[in-house]
Amino acid sequence: MDYDKVIRRIYNEVTPFLGKGKVADYIPALAEVNPEQLGIVVETLDLKSFRTGDSEIPFSIQSVSKVFTLAMVISHMGEELWQSVGREPSGNPFNSLVQLEHERGIPRNPFINAGALVITDRLISLYPRPKEAILDFVRSLAGTDDIYYDHRIACSEREHADRNMALAYFMKSFGNIHNDVETLIDVYCHQCAIAMSCADLARSFLMFANRGVNPVTGKRVLTISQSKRIGAVMATCGFYDESGDFAYRVGLPGKSGVGGGIAAYMPGKLSVAVWSPGLNSYGNSLAGIEFLERFTTDIRSSIF
């Protein structure tokens, strides 16, 4: 398959969508990002890379980070983790308090904000220096030390974290948050503010395509079962309230973030990362989803 030819052709097809989406202006630092950008990278398991557009520009990965922290925690806790967070699509906004109250402090899945806070809380309990541990983990997957927190975005998120604070305190009242809430929110805002390029992100997702083994180092990070289960949650819950439509249109497990990034993978074959900051009404990259739908259609391959 000539992936270079495929992604360059589709890049030209989706450029008319640039500027039509809306940046995540509820985080002031993200409101300043130019929406007329599009980066695309495909990485195969033999570490061949195919790139076009703004593929080397670092951006805030936001909720894509939830996949990394979930992998870190599940590798330690295994199935015990699912006593504290569910595995079902939410059907409600990603920062809903109503659903959390109805389900007595147990978040529906690890990719809505409440669920991600539970995961980060457990990570804080597991690692004495959690922010350093997260960066080390992501760097090891991407095969580079040149990945950092964007502290300006982290501070901007922290200044507007009232809803996440409320979610955390509410879950703490049910005993589902174990650590200091201020510390939890600080770590959470930093993990969302990790800056990565499409090249970094695609390389870091190869571990999932390789069923838990990091092809950069040859080291097993997750068991085959753990990798499968995280992939299943990505496929059903990875795109906010658009997860079902993404599965229908694209047919890959993956995760999006309101920074405009999307990372996805095809088991046993490849990973793909797309970045375009303009979002659709669901908070997913408008041009990114258009690209990915065309990509799996053109290469005639998906998980279905």
pLDDT tens digits, 65-87: 999 999 999 999 999 999 999 99
Q: Are 276 and 21 in contact (CB under 8 A)?
A: yes
Task: Give mean pLDDT, residues 217-223.
Answer: 96
- Determine if residue 19 is left, alpha or beta; phi over 0 gives left, psi from -120 to 50 gives alpha, anything else beta: left
pTM of this prediction exceeds 0.85? yes
pLDDT value at position 220?
97
Tens of pLDDT, residue by residue over 84-109, are 999 998 766 666 677 788 788 999 99
Residue ranges of domains in the chain: 3-298
Q: Catalytic site residues?
A: 63, 66, 188, 240, 258
pLDDT value at position 93?
62
pLDDT value at position 104?
86
| Per-position b or e across 129-143, b if 16+ CB within 10 A of its CB | ebbebbbebbbbbbe
Is the sign of the CA dihedral 162, 262, 72, 191 positive or negative?
negative
CATH number (3.40.109.10, 3.30.1600.10, 3.40.710.10, 3.40.50.80) of 3-298 reads: 3.40.710.10
Tens of pLDDT, residue by residue over 121-179, are 999 999 999 999 999 999 999 999 999 999 999 999 999 999 999 999 999 999 999 99
**Number of Cβ within a 10 Å radius of residue 31:** 13
Task: Give mean pLDDT, residues 114-127.
Answer: 97
Of the listed ranges 27-31, 187-191, 193-197, 250-254, the least confidently predicted one is 27-31
